[in-house]
Amino acid sequence: MSEVDGARRRIYGRRRGRPLRQGRQRLTETLLPQLCVPLPEAGVLDPETLFPQAVEQVWLEIGFGAGEHLAAQAELHPRIGFIGCEVFENGIARLLSEIDQAALPNIRIHPDDARQLLDALPPQSLGRVFILFPDPWPKLRHHKRRLVATATLDRLAKLMPPGAELRLATDDCDYLVWMLAHLTAHPAFAWMARRAWDWRRRPDDWPPTRYEEKALAAGRQPAFLRFQRR
């Protein structure tokens, strides 16, 4: 592994949890290869060609966890093509189960570092991007591993046309301050909140996740941020 690859792998944690159930293991062997995004060795990837039917837009979720938000969005928006990035194998397997049971044709998966995919996409190709409850990397020496950073925002700014929306969520107060500091300082993004209620309450079209439920059960109030590409 090169020095660059090694540095890139520091933004996320473990890849594997408990052994997969037999059915989910089967899906990772049979369904996942059909849904994986084929990254080109050279040139750019046209994400609209990944789906069996024409799509109106392509939306991306970086770090989809167990996939419940991604699956719910795909069911709510059948004319949108969705790409989900996740490295945790158990979360990928859960999403595959959702896709299989609900017969969702409009989801594709990149089971590796999201930055590989971002580097392959053409400019202004993403209509919406979700970064929900990313690892806060709370220790000061680990802050450089945080996904929400200037380099990531610069990449997304190139990939999102004016009017596209970036949605973020966190239940970590320090990471919330970090997110707001980076995003409000970035010239490409405008905060859509008009009052405090706008970011303290999850919007109606924003399906809940188990991370939100865990936060609320532990007495932590999640924040829901919406930024628009200028």
Q: Are 147 and 11 in contact (CB under 8 A)?
A: yes
d(CA 71, CA 136): 24
Residues in a beta bridge with 130:
61, 167
Q: Are 187 and 170 in contact (CB under 8 A)?
A: no
Output the CA–CA distances (angstroms, integers) from residue 180 to 113, 150, 191, in the order listed.
24, 12, 9
One-letter amino acid identity for 216? L
Which among 135, 154, 171, 205 is annotated as catalytic? 135
**59: part of which helix (H) or strand (E)?**
strand 57-62
d(CA 230, CA 225): 16
Output the CA–CA distances (angstroms, integers) from residue 61 to 169, 185, 218, in the order listed.
12, 23, 25
**Residue 172 among the catalytic residues:** no
d(CA 23, CA 168): 32
Could you list the active site residues? 135
